[in-house]
Amino acid sequence: MLLPKFDFHEPKTLNEACQILAAYGVKAKLIAGGTDLMVNMKKKILSPEQVISISRIGELKKLDTSGDSIRIGSCFTVADLSTSDAIQKHLSALGEGAKNLGTPLIRNLATIGGNLGSARPAADLPPALMAYGAQVVLNSLSGERTLSLDKFFMGPGFTAAKPDEILSEIQIPSLPPHSGAGYINIGVRKGQDCNLVNVASFIALDTDGTIRNARIVMGCVGPIPLRASSAEKMLIGQKPESALFSRAGAAASLDSTPIDDFRGTAAYKRDMVGVLTRRTLDIAFREATHRQ
């Protein structure tokens, strides 16, 4: 299987990368782990004339938990996310997404930035990141801007990043006390599966134990990861308990917009949104009660 012909660039700094990208614009594609781009090039879905590798840029690989927000470089690998103690401690739902992404071999190459930038509706990292209220930092020659992940995804394969912008960092604001999150994905088999439905839930509890804040993000059931808004509204001010979570699940089902495709029917996906919402709310609640 042959790849299309292209020129290859391997900038050493983010600035250098921005310069090269500015020169070629839409004729160029960024490559980090390559697990998405390489497959698309082999399938002849993409044939960029220029390929710019950012995988050697050290500043893009850092994980910084020292400040108010957790900052993850876009080239931090999914494998490192899945084994990082800091991620497990602070962003367990993200860790769960990372553990379930692809295969161990893919995880050693794949990056958090790539999983966001490729904007696949079934991707494993966006739901948890959105549930945590993450933002992305986009760099270009003209400067840097920060964008909420809620506004980043535009459609399957499309993001709000401009052709000359590089996703350099993901920032997650520090989490309030008594908050927790959960992530579950289901497919057909247990290993190496493309998700049929995935859901991440985040809740933050008030001092009286009621739900102060909730974010429920559903993947695979729309062109982009969707917030289950009516489910979230239903939870605010309520005391967390099983029946409430079930009702939230039913509401989330109605918030979802799955389609029939060769992987499964819309009806099944809708029902699974309900089940996974309830289950991830359970996980989030358990974590919230344990977190100081």
Candidates 1-9, 119-127, 167-175, 203-211; binding stretch for another protein (CB under 8 A): 1-9
Residues in the chain: 292
Kindly tell me which of 189 and 290 has the beta carbon lying closer to another protein.
Answer: 189
| Residue the block writes with tokens 């729309």 | 222
User: Which of 223, 268, 282, 291: binder of another protein (CB under 8 A)?
Assistant: 268
DSSP codes, 101-140 = SS-HHHHHH-BHHHHHHT--TT-SSHHHHHHTT-EEEEEE
Q: In this structure, are strands 50-53 and 7-9 parallel, antiparallel, or unpaired?
A: parallel
Candidates 22-30, 126-134, 227-235, 259-267; binding stretch for another protein (CB under 8 A): 259-267
User: Which of 143, 207, 262, 292: binder of another protein (CB under 8 A)?
Assistant: 262
Kindly tell me which of 35 and 168 has the beta carbon lying closer to another protein.
Answer: 35
Q: Site mask, another protein, residues 211-250, x = CB under 8 A?
A: ----------------------------------------
Task: Give the pair of three-digit tokens for residue 22.
Answer: 């500015």
Q: Site mask, another protein, residues 2-41, x = CB under 8 A?
A: xxxxxxx-x--------------------x-xxx--xx--
Phi-psi region of 62 (alpha: psi -120 to 50; beta: other; left: phi over 0): beta
What is Dmax (Cα atoms) for the chain?
A: 62
Task: Give the pair of three-digit tokens for residue 132.
Answer: 């945590």
User: Which residue type is seen at 9?
Assistant: H
Cβ 105 to another protein shortest distance, Å: 4
Count of positions on this chain that bind another protein (CB under 8 A): 44
Phi-psi region of 141 (alpha: psi -120 to 50; beta: other; left: phi over 0): alpha
Instruction: Give me the residues that bind another protein (CB under 8 A), please.
Output: 1-8, 10, 31, 33-35, 38-39, 42, 51, 53, 55, 79, 102-106, 108-109, 186, 188-194, 196, 262-265, 268, 271-272, 275
